[in-house]
Amino acid sequence: MTEPANIEQRKPIWIALSEFYLDTELQESDFREIAFKIIESPYTFDEVKKINKYEVFPVLQVNLLSFAGEWAGFDEDWLVGEIITLREKKSLVRQLITVVTYQMFKWMCKNYWKKLFSMYNYLKTNPESFILSCRTAFFNEVFPFQFDKRQNPIYQKLEQISIEYKIKGKLREYYEHLLEGQYYINIWTAFFYLKYLI
């Protein structure tokens, strides 16, 4: 079982992992957001897997077994309340039941964990990537077409990364960012493409 922990630190992980139990297919951007939550948390990837096994899975696995499962998203207050209640009632018997049922049903999210681990590793090993830089720009309120912010280091970094895609002959890879809707990634891509890459 996981060690006692700060509930506030765990909440973002619980909410992020709840995406695995929705009756819908997750997209690359979903895995990226979950990976961000893990990176920003005090937990390792293996610790997050244990949090899932002992805290999220027992509460939400039933949704994947339902013919009319939740697909739009779980109520966060309900989710947090259910997990806290589960933690307060933990016992050896409950833990053994969780271990057994997890072994039976973990296959249902197996591919998700592979994709999440791949995304997590990518983000951890590529802190200077275009996508992460777009995210940083977003949270620092630096947006495309803000010409008055051209001297901002984040703006210049995005500009340089875009030019490097052309220099390295990776324009096809760069074009794929046009499909990304988060953090103005697609707009930054189109902006620098029109300015430097055609």
Q: Would you list the DSSP string of 59-120?
A: HHHHHHT-TT---S---HHHHHHHHHHHHHT--HHHHHHHHHHHHHHGGGGHHHHHHHHHHH
Residue with tokens 């998203």: 73
Separation between Cα atoms, residue 99 and residue 78, nearest integer Å: 24
pLDDT score, position 22:
81
CA atoms within 13 A on the CB side of 52: 23
Separation between Cα atoms, residue 103 and residue 127, nearest integer Å: 35
- pLDDT by residue for the chain (198 residues), tens digit each? 444 458 899 999 999 999 988 877 888 889 999 999 999 999 999 999 999 988 988 888 777 665 545 556 788 988 898 888 888 777 666 777 666 666 656 666 678 899 999 999 999 999 899 999 999 999 999 998 898 999 999 999 999 999 999 999 999 999 999 988 889 999 999 999 888 776
For residues 141-164, one letter each, b for 16 or more C-beta atoms within 10 angstroms of the residue's C-beta and e for the rest, the string is: ebbbeeeebeeeebbebbbebbee
Separation between Cα atoms, residue 131 and residue 7, nearest integer Å: 30
pLDDT score, position 196:
75
Separation between Cα atoms, residue 55 and residue 118, nearest integer Å: 23
Helix (H), strand (E) at residue 49: helix 45-51
Write down the pTM of the prediction: 0.77
pLDDT score, position 106:
65
